[in-house]
Structure 1
Amino acid sequence: MRRYDSGAIARYYRYRPWKAWWRALDIIWSFVGFVLGLKWDDWQHHVEVNKSRRAIQLRKILTRLGPTFIKVGQALSTRPDLIRKDFLEELIKLQDQLPPFSTPKAFDIIETELDRSIDEVFESISPAPIAAASLGQVYQARLRTGEAVAVKVQRPNLLPTLTLDLYLMRWAAGWLAPWLPLNLGHDLTLIVDEFGTKLFEEVDYLNEGLNAEKFAVNFQDDPRVKVPSIYWRYSSQHVLTLEWIDGFKLTDTQRVKDANLGTDTLIEIGVTTGLRQLLEFGFFHADPHPGNLFAMADGRMAYIDFGMMDQLSEETKETLVDSVVHLLNKDYVDLAKDFVKLGFLTPETDIMPIVPALETVLGNAIGESVSDFNFKTITDQFSELMYEYPFRVPAKFALIIRSLVTQEGLALSLNPAFRIVEVAYPYVARRLLTGESSELRRRLIEVLFKDGKFQWQRLENLIVIARSDDSFDILPTAQLGLQYLLSEEGRFLRRQLILALVEDDRLHTAEVQRLWDLIKDDIQPTKLFNVALNAIAELSADRAATFISPMTAFTLFQGNKGDDTKF
């Protein structure tokens, strides 16, 4: 099978029930023994004495049960706030310290897949794998043409194990769903199907190569992100040859320090690239654990595994941006509508009783300051909310949630005091203020206006938050803003701004003064004049003539007054 098909898998094992029974007994017996061991330690008051032994036991159970369970362990290994430290230290080993299969077998697979001998392809290749993962292992090699490469070889006979585990997981999901207190219902089987689809894509290395190239195109304008090149001539469905990345795991804090790389800088790169994947491109890495993310000595972050990726529709991506905007505005009615659009609530759901609960949960999570917010708090609060209200987890969002939780867990391992919004809020604010698309400009207007009134404080907050990002430059943003205001599309905002300046029968000079105080250090009069001219240059001659006189007078006025200007 090249693609996941739950029906075909069910038909296969329906006529081979002994295989399913034997595997199910093996899984149940493994975990029953582990749980009984934990209980015995508790009864005998030997928890502290045996905790290291139990952690090793859990890792060995997951390793023995194979790739499906190793994937679960990898996800848990990124959550230091959920897993006890002794378990965490063992689960981390599942990322790249798994038992390899034999090198002669791996070389046989390479020669069969590429239809040529090892010596024909490689000038040299490591005699043993340098890393072994859940689905395959990696060799360091040099091509006959001189390039240093990594060669990924898939484990033999992988699909029979995966299909059997997925069959059992889907059967268990369908049987357990009606008994669960959460409002997941049949969505549990959809989540298993989504996981199965992605797992089948992950074992197709040709698909992974295409994912890597698509990811590289998306981030070609970001010098902080490195994506290895694919050598298609030496790749197949079960062998992938890609550019060698000379780096080290993000969790290797000592090497990060030795390379003079700041952990907070690496966190910022990781979170920002994660947000761009979800909110800009809609094409995101669904398995960003430390074994797949490397730091490089020059400060770049390298993504090295593209097996588990997913694509969001344009509508879903826009709704995600809407939900962030509504969260920023604390517009919980609109946020509840976003949950309906995203599939967390059915269209028939009466959202009004849910709105107060959302306000309580998200209000408590955000707190008085955005720095109090973290994704772990939100997921914990929502898990409680799902007991009382008809929320469900759409299959697509199971991967998104996993990706976000994993990224935050990785950030927490680098800096336990990290809060994801310290990077996420400046990113969202910067995107709204730059408004590079008509959709983002519309959302900026939603942020700045409430009940028809201009929200001066929101604009101030957006500027303050955006400026906390060192890469944010107010001048290009000002130019884009002026171009939009003077365009036909900006007619509504232009009219509303004029009304806002004289709202409530008074001239709002104090608010304008506060905004000027925020940006005056970054905008000198001569630079502002150039920005205005560049913005006007984008307009037609007739429209430019309409605006150039008052804007020139305003700029000259600023130049004469200097920093002490009062409006």
Structure 2
Amino acid sequence: MPDAGTSRARYRRILRFASIYIAQAWWYELVLPRIGLAGLAARGRARRLTRIAQRFHVLAVDLGGLMIKVGQFLSSRLDILPPEITSELAGLQDEVPAVPFPAIRALAEAELGAPLDRVFAWFDEVPVAAASLGQAHRARLAEEDAAVVGFDAVVVKVQRPGIQAIVDVDLAALRRVAGWLSRVRIVSDHVNLPILVQEFAETSLAEIDYLQEAANAERFADDVADDARVDVPDIVWERTTRRVLTLSDVTAIKVNDVEALRAAGIDPSAVAAAFAQAMFEQLFGRGFFHADPHPGNIFVTPAAAAPGGGADAGAPPWRLTFIDFGMMGQVPDGLRDGLRRLLIAVASRDGTGLVAAIRDVGVLLPSAETTELERAMTQLFARFGGMGFAQLRDVDPNEFRQFGEQFGEVVRSLPFQLPENFLLVIRAMSLTSGVCSALDPEFNIWDAVEPYAGRLMREQSGNLVQDLAQRAVSIAGLALGMPQRVDALATRVEEGRVAVTTPALDRRLARLERTGRRIVSAVLFAALFVGGILVLPANGVIGTVLLIASALPLLHALFAGIAGRRGPG
């Protein structure tokens, strides 16, 4: 376990890194544009952002703990972070040097209350996998335990010694940084960082509680019990504690090992389609989903290699076996309905419907002006809708860049908020797309989405009559109230009391007004400064007063408007 001095040093290192690059971003993105040097800030932006991401990559690998998971999370936020950052962090892997076996042995024996050679018939000292929060070892159960559970080959996950203290330090540092950033209005308008960090904290703390992971695995197994395509390892509860998890060894073909799949007579494109459908069912159907479906957590198990060997008549010749249930997501009924509408809008290439579904899901604040976003989505579907991954790779990169330049600022300027667990939905879908494209370069996500969306539409058709009745009542109410509303509007027009609200114009006028005030301050600064220099030789006192006084309008010219971008202190 890290001592107090090590923990303080870790905490300070994270805060020091964050403060340096927050200050740098503030200077380049807020200050320089306000003094007419926006071009200077823009010229080096790509190189500057890449350097920041590279240095965070180094920091994350060096520190381990939650920092690697923070980097993985940032790499998936294509909506709010520039590609220079997301692409650099995309290769960040949760692989760290293994903990020496004596420390693992000591922790496992303390948790299980007995020596390992008495609990297990065999225990491999070399880990099969080592991650930032724990590591896994193969083992064989003792005869009496194997007789009870019906198998002897197991994998034992052991938590890294001292990881709880490291997680606590990392979360404290992240909360501090989130507090800093939430005071900057340009950040707080887009995302509620304290809530975001709290959700990340809950997920991380659940991930190091192996009793919770075991319960998740059993719940997931119950959910997919009727799905012949999906399998889950069995939990050995007698050899499981909060920091040690023992489960059946289900190691098989890694889901993205295309050569091994073909050697086993398995079509990778069929695996891609089945994997996409399995994830859609979890996300949009059951609402309890695996939030970390990267290739290391999914195996393809041929029927002959499954427990019991062979397969029942009519059963699929292989199964998708999910492991590692530490990071699971839940979608409440209301959010799941919104996600279904979103999926249907995507399947029907309906840009306006997609934006409406995004608003209904709660990702966009009600005040968001979405006209430009609707236009962007409509053009996106018109140009790229229906294309598979291979076709998208053939598109001229300049076309993507032009589209991004045209609409990227629109997306980043919108006031986003993130419903509970929505980040895990984004993560799961992003990883699913990556796995499918690795399995089959010709994989077309539209082909996977459309049948599922069609099924959702058929399932919802039972509510069609009720929905139509509600709409009829609503329209009738509007019709009955229309004469009074028209009469009231005519009266207001006659009296000159009609006002037109134009938020975009109001914002532009406000910016112009602030700019005008800063120009006046700049002129006043120049006058006082030059006057002070001229007067100084003749009258030192008055010259000094003028020079000191010139600092006030200078400060206003430089920083006016920044306060307007900040939230409450």
Q: Would you say same fold, with TM above 0.5?
A: yes
Rounded to whole Å, the distance in 1 between the matches of 2:240 and 2:407 is 44
**For residues 362-414 of structure 1, what are the alpha-carbon distances to aligned partners after superposition, in whole Å with 9 as ceiling and x for unaligned?**
2223226742388999x979864333433333343122112211221222233
Query: How far apart, CA to CA, are the structure 1 residues paired with 2:89 and 2:415?
Result: 33
Moved more, 22-31 or 188-197: 22-31
1:494-551 Cα shifts (integer Å, max 9, x gaps): xxxxxxxxxxxxxxxxxxxxxxxxxxxxxxxxxxxxxxxxxxxxxxxxxxxxxxxxxx
Question: Which residue of structure 1 lines up, in the alignment, with residue 268 of structure 2?
Answer: 263
Q: Which residue number corresponds to residue 60 of structure 2?
A: 62
Q: What is the SS of the residue equivalent to 2:416? A: coil
Q: State whether residues 367 and 373 of structure 1, in contact with CA within 8 Å, keep that contact through their aligned partners in structure 2.
A: no
**Distance across 2 between alignment mates of 1:89 and 1:343:** 27
Report what 1:246 is aligned to: 251
**319-328 or 261-270: bigger deviation:** 319-328
Q: Identify the residue that residue 126 of structure 2 maps to in structure 1.
A: 128
Quote the Cα distance in structure 2 between the aligned partners of 1:85 and 1:19. Answer: 24
Match of 2:543 in 1: none
- The alpha carbon displacement at 1:246 in A equals 2.6
Q: Does 1:224 align with 2:229?
A: yes
Q: Retained in 1: the 8 A contact 2:233–2:249?
A: yes
Write the distance in 2 (CA, Å) between the matches of 1:443 and 1:209: 41
**Gap change, CA 1:443 and 1:232, over 3 Å in 2:** farther
Closer, same or farther: CA 209–82 of 1 in aligned 2, 3 Å: farther
For 1:152, the equivalent position in structure 2 comes to 157
Give the structure 1 partner of residue 336 of structure 2.
317
Indicate how the Cα distance of structure 1 residues 128 and 185 shifts in structure 2: closer, same or farther if over 3 A, else same. same
**Aligned residue identity for 2:207:** E
Aligned to 2:463: 442
**Could you tell me whether the CA contact under 8 Å between 1:77 and 1:88 is conserved in 2?**
yes
**How far 1:308 moved relative to its partner?**
0.8
Cα pair distance change 1:62/1:283, threshold 3 Å: same
How many aligned positions are there?
A: 407
Q: Map of 1:3-22 to 2, 5 A cutoff?
A: 20-22=11-13
Alpha-carbon spacing, 1:334–1:445, altered in 2? closer, same or farther (3 Å): farther
Aligned to 2:289: 284
One-letter code aligned to 1:220: A
1:301 aligns with 2:301: no
1:85–1:27 distance in 2 versus 1, CA, 3 Å: closer
With the length of structure 1 as denominator, give the TM-score of the two structures. 0.62
- Over 3 Å counting, the alpha-carbon distance change for 1:329 and 1:301 in structure 2 is closer
Runs (5+) with no aligned partner, structure 1: 1-12, 33-46, 453-567
Q: Which AA in structure 1 matches 2:424?
A: L
Q: Look up the match of 1:362.
A: 377
Task: Please give the alpha-carbon distance, in whole angstroms, between the structure 2 residues aligned to 1:340 and 1:58.
Answer: 33
Q: Give yes or no for contact 2:364–2:416 (8 Å, CA) kept in 1.
A: yes
More displaced, 142-151 or 333-342?
333-342
1:139 shift after superposition: 0.7
Name which structure has the greater RCO, CA cutoff 8 Å, separation 6+: 2
Q: Secondary structure at the match of 1:241?
A: strand
Moved more, 243-252 or 272-281: 243-252
- Structure 2 residue 104 is matched with structure 1 residue 113: no
Letter in 2 for 1:130: V
Deviation (angstroms), 1:243: 0.8
Preserved CA contact (<8 Å) 2:191 2:417 = no
Bigger Rg, which one = 2
**2:179 matched to which residue of 1?**
174
3-state SS of 2:421 partner? helix
Quick one: which amino acid aligns to residue 428 of structure 1?
Answer: A
Relative distance call for 1:234 and 1:269 in structure 2 (3 A) is same
**Contact 1:152–1:240, Cα closer than 8 Å, also in 2:** yes
Q: Which amino acid aligns with 1:257?
A: R
Query: Among residues 136, 145, 169, which one is paired with 1:138 in the alignment?
Result: 136
Q: Distance in 1 between matches of 2:466 and 2:84?
A: 43
Q: Does 1:394 align with 2:394?
A: no
In structure 1, C-alpha distance between the alignment counterparts of 2:127 and 2:356, rounded to whole Å: 51
Amino acid of the structure 2 residue aligned with 1:365: L
Q: Which residue of 1 aligns with 2:439?
A: 414
**Partners in 2 of 1:169 and 1:245 — Cα distance?**
36
Q: 1:162 maps to which residue?
A: 167
For 1:118 and 1:237, the matched residues in 2 are separated by 17
Q: Classify the secondary structure of the residue corresponding to 2:386.
A: helix
CA distance in structure 1 between the partners assigned to 2:216 and 2:451 by the alignment: 28
Paired residues of 2:181 and 2:187 also in contact (CA < 8 A): no
8 A contact 1:78–1:289 mirrored in 2: no
Alpha-carbon distance between aligned partners in 1 of 2:73 and 2:111, rounded to the nearest angstrom: 31
**Is 1:426 the equivalent of 2:451?**
yes
Match of 1:104 among 78, 102, 105: 102
The residue type paired with residue 284 of structure 1 is: F
CA distance in 1, matches of 2:414, 2:56: 35
Q: Is the CA contact 2:74–2:86 (under 8 Å) kept in the aligned structure 1?
A: no
Contact kept in structure 2, 1:182 and 1:387, CA below 8 Å: no
1:140–1:150 CA contact under 8 A, matched in 2: yes
Query: CA contact under 8 A between 2:130 and 2:136: conserved in structure 1?
Result: yes
**5+ unaligned residues in a row in structure 2: which ranges?**
24-46, 147-151, 304-317, 394-399, 473-569
Counterpart residue identity of residue 268, structure 1: A
Give 1:313 deviation, angstroms: 1.2
Find the aligned partners of 1:130 and 1:17 in 2 and give their Cα distance: 32
Q: CA deviation at 1:122?
A: 0.8
Q: Kindly indicate whether the alpha-carbon contact (under 8 Å) linking 1:78 and 1:406 is maintained by their aligned counterparts in 2.
A: no
Residue aligning to 1:190: 195
Give me the whole-angstrom Cα distance separating, in 1, the residues matched to 2:63 and 2:116: 32
Separation (CA, whole Å) in 1 of partners of 2:463 and 2:142: 55
The correspondence for 2:16, drawn from 25, 29, 39, is: 25
Q: Is the 8 A contact 1:322 1:443 kept in 2?
A: no
- Read off the aligned partner of 1:402 and give its amino acid letter: R
Counterpart AA for 2:374? E
Residue pair 2:300, 2:319 contacting (<8 A) in 1 also: yes
**Cα distance, 1:370–1:22 mapped onto 2, change above 3 Å:** closer
Mapped contact 2:121–2:140 kept (Cα < 8 A): yes
Evaluate the alpha carbon distance shift between residue 330 and residue 264 of structure 1 in structure 2; reply closer, same or farther with a 3 A threshold.
closer
Asked whether the equivalents of residues 191 and 418 of structure 2 are also in contact (C-alpha less than 8 Å), the reply is no
SS at match of 1:367: helix
Shift, 1:311, TM fit: 1.3
CA distance in 2, matches of 1:254, 1:58: 34
TM-score after normalising by structure 2: 0.62
Q: Superposition RMSD on alpha carbons, in Å?
A: 4.2
